[in-house]
Amino acid sequence: MENQNFNKVTKITLIFWLMKIVATTLGETLGDFISQTLNLGYYVGISVTATLFLIFLAMQLAVKKYVPAIFWLVIIGTTTFGTEISDFIDRTLKIGYAGGSAILLTCLLITLFLWYRKYRNLEVYPIFQRSKEIYFWIAVLFSNSLGTAFGDFLGDNLGFSYLQGAVICGVIILVVVLMHYFTKINHILLFWIAFVFTRPFGATFGDFLTKPWAKGGLDLGTLNASVVSIIIISLLIFVAHRKHSQQGE
């Protein structure tokens, strides 16, 4: 059995969920900045974000233990790349957000099935086997892409404003949290449900920050919103790193 001192992922705590939401907001605003504000298009956008994701993932796989800054760079990479994947499916392939959500949900379920078949569990902490870590990151990428598509589905297909979409996703997350504490529903199942829905929560909040007033947003622009998100996530990474160092994990 491999030494669990070489665990590669973070504990699932309150700060994890807070950082996940901020990372997804950044992924949404930064992805839109690359493909839309810079007018590079989705082919270039998906190439740039895929490259960054692969670089961050290679760094994560190369280290021997959990390093907060690198771990969260990969999370940010999956959220940014996931934004481009979702938009590419909808706007370039013309499949639409409903169809894209179905495709990405299928990919996520297949990944989790293969993961479970190999390890007989879907535990996300600790992870110290290389192959299990790869399953984890593939599942994270598909779940973040799915969350992006679902968030856009709420706004574009169902007609909810960005703030309403964020509230809907926030309520779902709250229900999942209550089920975690007050029911005996499998905690791993609840984790992945919450993980998926924190993505559209962050994505719709990102849209709320960047979109014009006429569309129900605050009109901060993708660059300003991205800068604000980068500052917040950097501070949270610093806190996570300090806490990790104090615990001596």
How far is residue 195's CA from residue 56's CA, in Å, rounded to a whole number?
Answer: 20
The pTM assigned to this predicted structure is 0.89
DSSP 180-205: HHHS-S-HHHHHHHHHHHHHHHHHHH
Residue 231 is classified by DSSP as H
Exposure string for 52-67, b = 16+ CB within 10 A, e = fewer: bbeebbebbeeeeebe
| C-beta neighbour count of 24 within 10 angstroms | 31
Mean pLDDT of the chain: 88
Q: Locate the domains of the chain by residue range.
A: 4-247
| Mean pLDDT for the stretch of residues 132-156 | 90
Q: What is the pLDDT of residue 1?
A: 41
pLDDT-derived band at 5 (thresholds 50, 70, 90) equals low
State residue 2's pLDDT score. 44
Distance from C-alpha of 215 to C-alpha of 234, rounded to nearest angstrom = 30
Q: Over 80: is that where the pLDDT of 86 sits?
A: yes
User: Which stretch of 128-132, 152-156, 225-229 has the lowest confidence by average pLDDT?
Assistant: 152-156
Length of the chain equals 249
For residues 52-71, give the mean pLDDT: 95
The closest of 60, 71, 22, 50 to 199, measured between CA atoms, is 22
Range 77-88 average pLDDT: 90
DSSP string, 56-74: HHHHHHHSSS--HHHHHHH
At 109 the pLDDT is: 95
Residues 104-133: tens digit of each pLDDT: 999 999 999 999 999 999 999 999 999 999
| Closest listed residue to residue 207, CA positions, set 102, 86, 112 | 86
Question: How much is the pLDDT for 243?
Answer: 84
The C-alpha atoms of residue 231 and residue 228 are separated, in whole angstroms, by: 5
Structural contact between residues 139 and 106, judged by C-beta atoms closer than 8 angstroms: no
Averaged pLDDT, 24-40 = 86
C-alpha dist (Å) from residue 74 to 37, 78, 116, 138, 154: 23, 6, 23, 11, 26
